[in-house]
Chain A
């Protein structure tokens, strides 16, 4: 078999893709990764924490995200920076989950006292104060694929279309994962 992939045809494709990649972008308007790290540190950290559930894994994830940001800045199209960062963070998180599947580890909660079951007499004020941690714990009980889309939709307020684009899955899959994720949270919250 002789496959005739000629230089001329591949050169044409190269030019097309190269032009598409750089078309109309004012590179001077693109922030540096240091600027992004400093101006969006809280955004990145908060999203990563909602996905990871503990500070140790969150810090590892944010560091990985910053490296990906640095690597990807040359192809970044100025626009929705937080959307771009969310896409990188979510995909980095899901990549880590997949790579850890064969070496499962159980992360310790940051404050073990907070996950000990409370007294049945705990008052409403206590319940309200603990709600964020309780919700975070329930998020961590969701499968990572469900957790990622629920966080993007409900914590960050992304649209279904934005989520589908960010994690590269069909919009119907996004809808069903969000519905199932919320449904599991509902069951857990009403028990």
Chain B
């Protein structure tokens, strides 16, 4: 199938050809199935179950079901983890392969980010759940782990206070360490001011506490995938 185009108007001619493409409608029953939020394919079902595991982790952190193990956060390790996970997720040279628990459809951790960041992938790395987000050429990772931050192990000059919460921030590496009731959130790639204002722009009610937002986030993941009972299950554990 060979076409001939005028040198002066070839772009318009191609545009017209594409503009003439017919619309394509969905097969019968597809929209009703989508409205029922039933996973269409086995792969999606597995992804959904994996995301629920993330949701459960976040919810358990928020509800205080996990013991308060004191954790020493090593900024160098955090930076290395970020670089390795990012390289793996974007296929830019990491030899590490991580277990992907969410291929980018989830909303886990979005409550901690400014607007416009899109979830790319959530993986298990070094025993943590790490979500990677992207906005244009900016890449941010958010890690979750149970326990309590050993603030004394972090450099004193990095200590900050955001909305009355103890926080640690390193402007050079853009690492922020937050503490909730029972969980640790480590964010790489944002300035402290962006972190401080992020909940304002999220879809989650900013007036709610950190762990309530974490619970909301977990619930939102479950709702997206059609498993509303998960929040209750995790809360009861």
Contacts and interface: CB of A to CB of B under 8 A. Distances in A.
Interface string B128-168: 00000011100000000000000000000111111110010
21 contacts: A2-B160, A3-B169, A5-B192, A14-B197, A17-B200, A42-B26, A45-B25, A45-B30, A55-B27, A60-B40, A63-B34, A70-B224, A101-B91, A103-B100, A131-B1, A134-B1, A136-B21, A155-B21, A182-B10, A185-B18, A189-B1
Interface stretch (B57-65, B67-75, B103-111, B181-189): B103-111
Interface of B: 1-5, 10-11, 14-15, 17-19, 21-27, 30-31, 34-35, 37, 40-41, 44, 88-91, 100, 103-105, 107, 116, 118-121, 134-136, 157-164, 167, 169, 171, 192-193, 196-197, 200-201, 203, 206, 220, 224
A82 interface: no
A155 B121 CA distance: 30
Contacts of A135: 17-18, 21
B15 A182 contact: yes
A191 interface: yes
Q: Is the interface of A mostly helix, strand, loop or mixed?
A: helix
Interface string A110-131: 0000000010000000010011
Contacts of B3: 189-190
Nearest to B195: A5
Nearest to B91: A102
B6 to A, nearest CB: 11
Contacts of B91: 101-102
B89 to A, nearest CB: 6
Q: Is the interface of B mostly helix, strand, loop or mixed?
A: mixed
Contacts of A98: 90, 104, 120, 134
Contacts of B40: 59-60, 63
Interface residues of A, number: 69
Given A4-B161, A63-B40, A190-B5, A168 B25 contact: no
Contacts of B34: 37, 59, 62-63, 66
A135 B90 CA distance: 30
Interface string A1-37: 1111101001001100110000000000000001001
A157 interface: yes
A60 B35 contact: no
B160 A5 contact: yes
Interface string A128-147: 00111011100100000000
Contact of B15 (A56, A99, A118, A153): A153
A59 B25 CA distance: 11
B91 to A, nearest CB: 4
A77 interface: no
Given A1-B160, A134-B1, A45 B120 contact: no
Nearest to B170: A1
